[in-house]
Structure 1
Amino acid sequence: MDDCIAACDFDAWEGAAEALAGGLLHLVAVAAAASANRPNAVGHITQRRLQQLDQPSGRTDFVLQARETVVKMSSLMGMPRAINALHSLAAAVPQDSDLARELAAAPVLRGDADYSHARMRARGLELFSAIYGRHAATVEDRLHALCPDLAEVIVVDSYGRLLGETRRLSARDTELCAVGCLVPLDVPAQLKSHCLGASRLGASDAMVQAAIRLARLVCTRRP
């Protein structure tokens, strides 16, 4: 189904999420739309933000952050939806433009030179502890009891290699995007955990509530 988004939708979204300043609002919206499997909406959101930015460097930074948002959220929403979202995001960038060339030249953040299992595990545990606080060890033990392989994948790959990379998207902003991503997935326990995690990483309560409101609006299809 083709997603039609009018200016009034954007006005409502931006009005409901004023606590999310600047491009962060649009990144949370991208996370929610991708997770809801509304890939065309991802393209519309990207175009909206690009129209608001005057400087070429700002446009490049935003698209790189939007791509990074989708990559990170693939650990929560799954690869198929991430691929769909990235297709739409790419289509929002004019081909043979300076922006397209800047994006093509951007360095890969997760290349072989940056990877070691031990480092990713340590980074994953650090982020895991920051998000879950004093409950981190209990949560990890429960995951191990469910399936040791899954626990290892979550710590090393999801938290270490994906979510723990902060060169383009900070830990706080990543958690706010995670909140937006989890709303359409209807997983209350995980949503609560990441709302608390966002707060522990520096997000205000107003920012967390704005991310929830925004995600709900983004996931509501127009008749």
Structure 2
Amino acid sequence: MRTPSFPPRFKGILGKDFGKCLGPTQSVSRTVAAASFTFRRGYNQLGTGTAVVPNRRARVEMSDSKAALRLRAIQGHMQNKAISSAASSSSSASSSSSSPAPQPTSQQRSLDFSALASLMPKEANNTTATSLWYVVATAALLSFHQEPAVGELWKYINGLNNCDQTTRVTIARRIRECCLKASVLVGFPRGINSLSSLQSSIESNSPDLLPVLSKDTSMRAPVPLEEKLKRGKHFFSQIYSNHTDRILANMGKSSGGDLSDFAIRSVYGELMGEMRILNPMETVMMEFVCCLADDVAPQAKGHFFGCRNLGATGQQVLGAVELVREIARQLGLDRPGNGDHFGFLAKAETW
């Protein structure tokens, strides 16, 4: 191996002051030669993995001198350079070796929406303005972090032969309302992204609906605060029945009183309590699905029984559970709602 050349910053370090660092019996040429030999030897040993240890003579001649410090700096530089080169070669060899092809992610998978619709009672091949399957599917997609799939859901529905313009406008509003209501359960950013996905899909696939949908205005803004508070408390009580006071007390105790107030005023009064597009049963079903897909058993249990309290049949609840699990299967995700803490799901078979 040839003697390495040093970087520009090391040029001239053995200058005119170098001789002052030597003892009376030493010569510059002898010390430089010894140092040069030491570094050549050490540099060659770097490639073999042998530890670089200067010989005894070099240590004696170069100790406590400025030149020694400078030469050690050069040695350290060359050692780091050799190690870096070896690491680079190892990385290149590793990357060139055969490796399995990357597996497709869940976001790259296409969903079979017709199979999902068939899981809800009486809704297979019969999607209507009041169908429940696409409400359940929308809530599950948001919970599984698949907001772009909401646009694909709309594309599928828009292509159905039995959906005229009036039906499609109603369905678009229902999916939009589901995204809005689900946002408090799955995360506000996901609600925003799902609504954006739906809007983009409508613009691309259903431009004829835009003149109608663009005229929609807020249904919640004009409602007086007193009315929102009243409807929030009423809907919350419908879901939790005789457990309402206990649940609100526990929520307040754990949060200094704020969580229970926020739930009644904002979550249920402002958001969930608006029933002109999604009725109470559809809204609590959406809440149940979000909690089930997210595997939060305590909240899923409360809304599971809330579905029954608000008129859902056992077959509708079981269909919703299977639809959520089928989406998870198609996406390659873990099956939600497993384990003893989800044992309550079996009760729907007796409803």
TM-score (structure 1 length as normaliser)? 0.91
Distance 1:219 1:164 in 2: 29
Larger mean CA deviation between 91-100 and 14-23 belongs to 14-23
What is the aligned partner in structure 2 of residue 207 from structure 1?
A: 316
Distance 2:207 2:288 in 1: 33
What is the aligned partner in structure 1 of residue 188 from structure 2?
A: 79
The one-letter code of the counterpart of 2:287 is: A
> How far does residue 141 in structure 1 lie from its aligned partner after superposition?
0.8
Deviations 1:128-167 (A, max 9, x none): 1100011111111111111111111111111111111001
Which SS does the other structure have where 2:214 is aligned? helix
What is the aligned partner in structure 1 of residue 215 from structure 2?
A: 105
User: Of Structure 1 and Structure 2, which has the larger fraction of its residues in helix?
Assistant: 1
Contact 2:137 2:323 in 1 (8 A): yes
What is the aligned partner in structure 2 of residue 143 from structure 1?
A: 251
The one-letter code of the counterpart of 2:278 is: L
Aligned positions of 1:101-140 closer than 5 A: 101-111=211-221, 113-116=222-225, 118-140=226-248
The one-letter code of the counterpart of 1:134 is: N
TM-score (structure 2 length as normaliser)? 0.59
Are residue 42 (structure 1) and residue 42 (structure 2) matched? no
What is the aligned partner in structure 1 of residue 282 from structure 2?
A: 173
Larger mean CA deviation between 211-220 and 31-40 belongs to 211-220
Contact 2:135 2:175 in 1 (8 A): yes
Residue number among 151, 155, 178 corresponding to 1:69 in the alignment: 178
Provide structure 1 residue ranges, at least 5 long, that are not aligned to the other structure. none
Higher normalized contact order (CA 8 Å, seq sep 6+, divided by chain length): 1
Distance 2:108 2:308 in 1: 32
Which SS does the other structure have where 2:175 is aligned? helix
Are residue 5 (structure 1) and residue 110 (structure 2) matched? yes
What is the aligned partner in structure 2 of residue 25 from structure 1?
A: 133
Which SS does the other structure have where 1:38 is aligned? coil
Are residue 193 (structure 1) and residue 302 (structure 2) matched? yes
Over alpha carbons, which structure has the higher Rg?
2
Provide structure 2 residue ranges, at least 5 long, that are not aligned to the other structure. 1-104, 334-351
Please identify runs of 4+ aligned residues in structure 1 that moved more than 4 A: none
